[in-house]
Amino acid sequence: MSRTDLAGLLTEAAQSISGILTAEYPTPASRSYLHPVLGALSAGPQVVGELNEHLEEFMAAEPRPATAAGLFTLASYTSALGWLTESLAELTTAVDQICTRVGIPAGAGELAFATSEDAEEEDGFDFAFSVLELAAIRTAAEAAGLPPGDYVGVLSQSLLAASQITDACMEISNGLLEDTA
């Protein structure tokens, strides 16, 4: 493969990985706390599968990569694929923990709510909400069949997991683009 072809392989992989972050997945109101992670969770395995197929094609091509550029591309690609696979496994574990937490009986582990005039700290985080925010949380929690405190807790976990997969995908994608250059 030419250097242009090798660069194209890495660029396509970078674009596929960054595309995970824009994937949408319809989320029912009863699972709205999972909305931040469902797009990545649904698109990620497909991207891993496609990248793996491209890697197999790359390795099956004759002649096999033997130049410095070919071996560098192979190393970069396989490293990105491994990192993405590991990041998606961590996302899956986080979603599993969220789903397990949702199964906790009502009232267990409920966070205290506070208005902006009466803020209460929980584990170093300020969970102060306005009256409108409290109403929105209560509505979403009711639709999900959860106490408001539990809803905020699982939504927070979901947002954290979404942030982590976003960071990983951006680092992987940017690394591939740097390697392309």
What's the pLDDT tens digit per position in 136-180?
889 999 999 999 888 999 999 999 999 999 999 999 999 999 999
- As a whole number of angstroms, the distance between CA 138 and CA 144 comes to 10
For residue 178, with 0-12 CB atoms within 10 Å meaning exposed, 13-18 middle and 19 or more buried, which class applies?
A: exposed
pLDDT at 126: 52
Question: Rounded to 5 degrees, what angle do the CA atoms 136, 108, 159 make?
Answer: 45
Distances (CA, A) of 17 to 1, 52, 87, 117: 22, 12, 11, 43
**What is the token pair recorded at 35?**
């909305």
Higher pLDDT, 24 or 58: 24
CB 144 within 8 A of CB 33: yes
> 127: pLDDT confidence band, cut at 50, 70 and 90?
low
Please give the DSSP secondary-structure letter assigned to residue 118: S
Residue 114 confidence (pLDDT) above 80: no
Name the average pLDDT for the chain: 85
Paired strand residues for 126: 121
- As a whole number of angstroms, the distance between CA 161 and CA 155 comes to 10
